[in-house]
Amino acid sequence: MGAAERELLLEAFDSNWIAPLGEHVDAFEVECSQYLGAKDAAALSSGTAAIHLAFVMLGIGQGDRVYAPSFTFTASVNPILYVGATPVLIDSEAETWGMDPELLAEELEKDAREGTLPKAVLVVHIYGQASKLEEISLLCAKYGVILIEDAAEALGTTQRGKHVGTTGHIGLFSFNGNKIITTSGGGLLVSDDASLVAKARHLASQARVPGPRYEHDALGYNYRLSNLLAAVGRGQLLKIEDRVAARRANFEDYRGRLSQVQGLSFLDEPEEDRGTRWLSVMLIDPDSFGATPNQVQVELEARDIESRPLWMPMHMQPIYRNARMVGGRVCEELFRTGLCLPSGSSLKETDRSRVMEVVESFASPKIRSN
């Protein structure tokens, strides 16, 4: 947090427009739309709320199937169950760790023959890296399937110069406290269909009809962002490019030094992409490195350094173990071998060096591969 956020927050406070609406909500929506190159945006209480509203507005419900990646955070997939639809989980591919378009193509081709096409495909841009969006988008267009983009972890990520979250029918972002910019809690729904965004605002405000009476014309939700939090978001958005640069610098520092250690590797970035490197993720081959990700995590924790395992794939979660899973080898291997290193935008070079010294202490033999 900085001076701009504080100034805008106090301005909102002094205006006495606290929640759920106010001029900062309106301004934040406009500024986010302009940054992303989207036609319109609705500021919401969370990224999860945005996914839920997307499904509701697109008529996805009981009896429908939604294809989603297994390798993601549970908040991506849970809204499929909120609306009574059925998730079908698809493995990752190794180049971006996103949904495998080849597996998706096989499933859609089979569905088309059998007359069982899914209602939607939910693609997730994992850890700030764009999925193979062009291939997936073309497949969805070919089979007439709705494409929804979960870019919760990827504000600032571009593919061929276009922001992720703006290719599908609806895109969504998160401003949770762990994201590149934050409103402490919050989300954003974007679309080039302004009528969909207007509907999202309506449903997110308990579907209340304008006027003096408390009249509601649909099943609504309390999903709007408060004016106070939107003010914080406006201040944060001013620094988004600096935050992306800082996250990318973290990653490059880690990769430049640790990729020289036998058994350690990092995700490469396609030439025409700019990922945010929201989290710096390292893959560990225990046999050649000399330690498991869990052993490294425990030692980092002993030095008061936080790290995290990668997302446990959804098909390994108790709640989704009965869901249909297409493939699974790639995302299971990512979960088994991955470790998220400290990635905050405020990390100093000395902080990263301390992290890397601990990691290097495990190398066996304790020599670099070159």
What number of CA atoms fall less than 13 Å from residue 231's CA on the CB side? 24
Buried b or exposed e, range 15-41, using 16+ CB within 10 angstroms: eebeebbbebbebbbebbbeebebebb
Q: Is the peptide bond before 20 cis (omega within 30 degrees of 0)?
A: yes
Q: Kindly state the DSSP code that residue 277 receives in the 8-state scheme.
A: -
Is the backbone peptide bond immediately before 101 cis, with ω within 30 degrees of 0?
Answer: no
Domain 241-360 has CATH 3.90.380.10: no
* d(C-alpha 114, C-alpha 99), whole Å: 23
Write out the E strands in 227-302: 264-266, 273-274, 280-284
Q: Hunting for tokens 């859609």 — which residue is that? A: 108
Instruction: Indicate the burial class of 118 (C-beta count within 10 angstroms; 0-12, 13-18, 19 or more).
Output: buried
pLDDT at 17: 84
What's the pLDDT score for residue 368? 45
3-state secondary structure of 207: coil
> So what's the pLDDT on residue 170?
98
**Fold identical between 3-240 and 241-360?**
no
* pTM summary value: 0.94
Do 283 and 334 contact (CB within 8 A), yes or no? yes
- pLDDT, position 365: 59
**Do the beta carbons of residue 45 and residue 174 sit within 8 Å?**
no
Find the length of the chain.
370
Domain extent listing, the chain = 3-240, 241-360
Using DSSP's 3-state secondary structure scheme, residue 78 falls into helix
Q: Would you write out the chain's pLDDT as a tens digit for each of its 370 residues?
A: 889 989 988 998 888 888 778 899 999 999 999 999 999 999 999 999 999 999 999 999 999 999 999 999 999 999 999 999 999 999 999 999 999 999 999 999 999 999 999 999 999 999 999 999 999 999 999 999 999 999 999 999 999 999 999 999 999 999 999 999 999 999 999 999 999 999 999 999 999 999 889 999 999 999 999 999 999 999 999 999 999 999 999 999 999 999 999 999 999 999 899 999 999 999 999 999 999 999 999 999 999 999 999 999 999 999 999 999 999 999 999 999 999 999 999 999 999 999 999 999 998 654 444 4
Pick the CATH number of 3-240 from 1.10.150.20, 3.40.640.10, 3.40.50.720, 3.90.1150.10: 3.40.640.10
- Within 8 A by CB and 6+ apart from 357, the residues are none
d(Cα 150, Cα 123) in Å, to the nearest integer? Answer: 6
How distant is the alpha carbon of residue 368 from its chain centre? 34
